[in-house]
Structure 1
């Protein structure tokens, strides 16, 4: 169960709390190494290693700064580093900008669907730098917005000379203005505009400024304390000038009130009177010596040891549209694995990580039959090889690795051609039966490997493994016997691993009466997803034990 949102997924895969700052707000007084309450991070006795960055005794893997962003965006103050506990010294130094707070143009109003009666009060962001207006999928569902079309948007981002195409749905909605009238706008529906954003109270305002703010009708309230909120609606330049009016009042140097149809919008910059030591405004670099105090540098070029990766800055300045709004293939494979993993009869049972178009997998029995004839023909003059080949299959049948198929059942049926690989110098398995999951009968057909996600590579850096191997005086090497066959395959996915073999090796004739069908009960070697399923199962098993031994095994294994 996720420690942050209490839903059934791993804590480091929480989509509700994606950033470090949001997650640490949930943890509050918890330890950042083991996520338990009752002691501070410096007092934690857990010996944990982060699976993402490899650091030991530093943080929980869901709080890895190299894997997760510090924050996504901010309305009143952009914070790109998490808040630290009082008295804690950051692990790395941070050079930060001076304490200046920038207020974006936000407004709160009632919105509703143009063709539905549902309505919500939301906080919106007005951005003249965006050509279009956007609404999040979450708000679109709450308002029951009807799709009125689809549109492909060419998005040009910072530090890029090529546009990227994003497919979105189009709908219409209504915004309530201050006089009580409604304004109809067209919006593009996107997965998310921004995650949890942080609003901060105003500091350092003059008495005249405070009096002015209290005498006008503001479009958005001013935060009294630090708070997290969410932006579900972004008004772009297509409607910006229809909403923002021409009047502008200067509250103080750099801070203004803009007149709009939602009320007066407070925007601009202001210097805070007191700088909080735990406040971090803008990350510039993380190299050099540790600093306990927040320091502002006029020039940082001389002390830079490495050119910072500016891509993170461009992402933070974006409006929430990713290059690909859907999950990557590795994320889909991992999600499918965790949603379908079972443990029964003393063995982990997995399913194949299918792609969406997996229903096109053909019944290639004719191909398997032709390959079997070729295999038998090559072994006719080598009866000892034929006997060894048959003994391997019969041994797998006895051990429950494969099972006989008596009838054609199942939603998808697919056959795996196979052949022998002989290694005479090998001391253990001199003959191995290899299954070809990439075989196709026609060019238009799909193979099993083409219908499955490969999955993320679970084996970690080989250099690190070799270095850990040389740390101690004595090294011990172990191997799991037939590791793939230790992982069970759920019955619903077994029919795509069928293969043909002859009933009697003394009569090597291939026809419909002399062959039998078998299918795998375990994960076979030769399928593109098999290495991922093995590695992910081992990782999942180690994760189920919160003990020092499991962490030691993880370090050795990874």
Structure 2
């Protein structure tokens, strides 16, 4: 156990917690160390410790960290050179032997453990003292007295290893190029795309609708589509400008070959997409857009959307896009006009 008159919290190592078979409670604390280094603590545990010389004991909460410090002391100390009175009971009889630190006691508790009694063991310009505590006598100070025979190479105090902290930083900040946590449906949808995507002679992509394996039969949807269309036609009677804009958009679909007239309306098999207008006056290009409602229910209570698998999100998120603006002085923006309408649906799925 290390008594620290500067620390503002108590710490215990994961190794000690496992050895005592304790069950930690979850927490999240940011712990600052030297030179603005920080680490995050995710667990807390309650531990009771007791003096080996008397009945004094304390129960404290400890934050759990991987390591507290390297071995203390960092080298074997010749005990015969320290003149400890024979009637003194040292709290740690093996204080001179390097050993790992399992617990660190913070300043408040440390000061409360101090008792009356100090013995000066300083010699050869050293500052070495015996301090009486409720746990027994402890030794504190430096090793100047023995530098002629002992070379202290390092002085370490660490809450986390720098290497592990840097690796953790990069793993958290890295933008993954390939997701590994796809759902089963996302995996199946991506495989479906890979097996069915083709290109025609002009280079246009042809895709297949990703129907779920447990395909449900769609009910009749033509009547709902006609009902939606009749409501739209009534709006046209009261709003000639809406009719003009709507007609222009439908004509554009025909001119660009983005839709075609079905040969027969006798067979209602398939799905009829209701559509309506969304008007955006602030748009510089298209003030009116058509929105097709694939979530409209058929007579079986099922919609087209409910029959299709949902694929994974493969484009960069908004943060990744925005952060690119910090890399260069100039930014070029471009738009693929009517991008989704440039994809062809394979003929057997068009219905």
Q: With CA pairs under 8 Å and 6+ residues apart, which has the higher RCO, 1 or 2?
A: 2
State the TM-score, normalized to the length of structure 2: 0.47
